[in-house]
Structures are given as C-alpha cells and as structure tokens.
C-alpha cells in the first residue's frame, strides 16, 4: 500500500518536474529571451528574496484580509440562506428564482458598479469576493440539506428532539460534507477573484504587484505574485482538507 502511494506521488511529481525542466531548458538553450521568459531559478530566488521584504509581506497581508473577509461572509450567508431555503418553502420560493438569475451572471462585470458604490478600497473587493464565492456555497448547502433522509428527522423527533433543534442537530450535520465541498470551490474562486479585483484597481496586494511589474516589463516580478497566489491557494486548500477530515471523522466516505 505504501509502495503504491509512493509510486503515485512520484508519478504526480513527474509532470511538475517536466514542466520545470522544459522551462529551464527553454531559457538555458536561448529559445526564449530572458525578457520574455525568465529562468525558473531566478524566479524562485526572487520569490525567496521577496518573502523576506516587509513591503511584499504587506501586499500578501492585504490580499489575505480581503480574501478571508469575503470568503467568511460568503460562508455565513451561503450556509444560512442555503439551510433556510431547504427548510422553509416560503424562503425557497423567493431564493430559488433569484439564484437562478444571479448565479450565471458574470460577477466581474459588476465590479465597476461596486467601485462606484463602495469606492476603491477594501469594501468593493470584499463584496466582489463574497458575491463570487457565495453561490457555490449556497447551492451545495441547499442540495446537501434537501437530500437529508426524512427518516433521520423522524427518528430524532421520535427520540424527543424539539422541532427547532432538528435544524442544528440533524440537518446541518447531515449536510456537512456537501457544505464543505461548496466551501472548497468557494475558496478557490475567492483566491482567483481577489487577485483579479486587485489587478483591475488597487494600490496594494498581489494583483497590484503583477500589474505594476507588467507595466514596467519586469518579467521576473510578474511571475512572483502568480506563484505566490498559487501557493496560497494550495495551502488554504490543504488546510480546508484537514478541517474536513477532522469534522467528518466517522462519516462513511469523505
């Protein structure tokens, strides 16, 4: 089993190494001029350098504040509205058509309107992140909660659980795997959107670094924020996976 896992890990590492090797080869054999494609060694060295500088860490912090604020608001709203819509038919009747209209809307197109309404600062970016991360969380919460087996509810009622506690003691835990899947999708989206919003209009953050570097043709500095946001996304995804494993211990399959 462990030997199998080892081969799987090695197999997975292979294409990443191949990409890095091709990248390196392209640079060292002069196929690509370094102004267009800097060698990977230089990019990672620059990343390590930047991680030591205060300015860069401030940018990361700004991005993370927006990311977390937007994502957390989306989780609270998404889970709340999703559960409410699954339990109360009247709320469902209102929420359903609204979601049908709003979910396929490209939210980035709303960004100019958000800037006009909330200004250039944190608020407009956090709102955009919330809007984009909200719908996957809401939809998966809703589906998870409406798939809960009726038998579980009946058993809980028969065992003497008060009606108002059913939501928290039966439905929410039973919908948890689905909710966490939605959160995971929402998190990836939040990473992507916060970066885009910062690229469009910002004075700090990783997206702003990329645009600034692009304007002055500092190719090395263009790669650094991209790799940083990718690493940030991977780390957060890993943390969420750990949380999921912890929360869902005892569930039949994760």
Partner 1 sequence: MISARNTVARLSPLLACLGLLAVWQVAALWLDTESFPTAWHALQTVPQVLGDPEQLLNILDSIRRMVIGFSLAVLISIPLGLAMGRSARVSAFFNPLLMMIYPVPKAALMPIIMLWLGVGDASKTLVIFLGVSLPVIYHSFQGAKAVEEKMLWSGAAMGLNGLQRMLRIVLPAALPEILTGCRTGLVLALITMVTSEMIARQSGAGNILFNAMDMAQYDTVFAMIIIIGALGIVLDAAFDKLRWRLVKWAEPHQEILLGAS
In the bound complex, what is the minimum distance in angstroms from residue 161's beta carbon to partner 1? 27
Point out which span in 48-56, 159-167, 168-176, 190-198 binds partner 1 (CB under 8 A): 190-198
Binders of partner 1 in range 131-170 (CB under 8 A): 132, 135-136, 139-140, 143
Q: How far is CA 183 from CA 107, 131, 134, 140, 250, in A?
A: 18, 13, 9, 9, 20
In the bound complex, what is the minimum distance in angstroms from residue 129's beta carbon to partner 1? 9
Of 79, 191, 202, 244, which one interacts with partner 1 (CB under 8 A)? 191
Residue count at the site for partner 1 (CB under 8 A)? 64
Q: Per rule CB under 8 A, is residue 56 in the interface with partner 1?
A: no
Nearer to partner 1, 35 or 49 (CB): 35
Q: How far is CA 23 from CA 33, 40, 186, 234, in A?
A: 12, 7, 31, 21
In the bound complex, what is the minimum distance in angstroms from residue 93's beta carbon to partner 1? 8
Of 104, 162, 250, 252, which one interacts with partner 1 (CB under 8 A)? 104
Point out which span in 39-47, 75-83, 168-176, 195-203 binds partner 1 (CB under 8 A): 195-203
Q: Per rule CB under 8 A, is residue 254 in the interface with partner 1?
A: no
Concatenating the DSSP letter of every residue in the chain gives -HHHHHHHHHHHHHHHHHHHHHHHHHHHTTSS-TTTS--HHHHHHHHHHHHTSHHHHHHHHHHHHHHHHHHHHHHHHHHHHHHHHHH-HHHHHHHHHHHHHHTTS-GGGGHHHHHHHH-SSHHHHHHHHHHHHHHHHHHHHHHHHHTS-HHHHHHHHHTT--GGGHIIIIIHHHHHHHHHHHHHHHHHHHHHHHHHHHHHS-SSSHHHHHHHHHHTT-HHHHHHHHHHHHHHHHHHHHHHHHHHHHHTTT-S--
Binders of partner 1 in range 7-36 (CB under 8 A): 7-8, 11-16, 19, 36
In the bound complex, what is the minimum distance in angstroms from residue 242's beta carbon to partner 1? 15
Of 3, 54, 109, 159, which one interacts with partner 1 (CB under 8 A)? 109
Nearer to partner 1, 106 or 250 (CB): 106
Residues that bind partner 1 (CB under 8 A): 7-8, 11-16, 19, 36-37, 93, 96-98, 100-110, 112-113, 115-117, 132, 135-136, 139-140, 143, 181-182, 185, 188-189, 191-193, 195-196, 199-200, 207, 210-211, 214, 217, 219, 222-223, 226, 229-230, 232-234, 237
């Amino acid at each position: 089993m462990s030997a199998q896992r080892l081969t799987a890990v090695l197999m997975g590492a292979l294409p990443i190494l191949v990409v890095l090797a091709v990248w390196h080869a392209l640079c060292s054999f002069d196929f690509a001029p370094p102004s267009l494609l800097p060698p990977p060694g230089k990019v990672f060295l620059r990343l390590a350098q930047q991680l030591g500088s205060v300015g860069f860490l401030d940018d990361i912090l700004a991005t993370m504040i927006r990311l977390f604020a937007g994502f957390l608001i989306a989780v609270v709203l998404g889970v709340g509205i999703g559960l409410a819509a699954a339990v109360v038919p009247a709320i469902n009747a209102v929420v359903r058509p609204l979601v049908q209209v709003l979910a396929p809307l490209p939210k980035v197109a709303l960004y100019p309107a958000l800037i006009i309404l909330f200004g250039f600062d944190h608020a407009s970016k956090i709102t955009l992140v919330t809007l984009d991360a909200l719908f996957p969380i809401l939809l998966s919460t809703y589906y998870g909660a409406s798939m809960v087996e009726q038998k579980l509810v009946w058993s809980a009622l028969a065992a003497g659980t008060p009606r108002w506690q059913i939501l928290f003691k039966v439905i929410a835990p039973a919908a948890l795997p689905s909710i966490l899947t939605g959160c995971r999708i929402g998190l990836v989206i939040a990473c992507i959107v916060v970066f885009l919003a910062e690229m469009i209009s910002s004075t700090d953050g990783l997206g702003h670094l990329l645009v600034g570097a692009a304007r002055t043709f500092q190719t090395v500095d263009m790669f650094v924020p991209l790799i940083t946001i990718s690493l940030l996304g991977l780390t957060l995804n890993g943390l969420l996976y750990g949380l999921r494993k912890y929360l869902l211990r005892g569930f039949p399959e994760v």
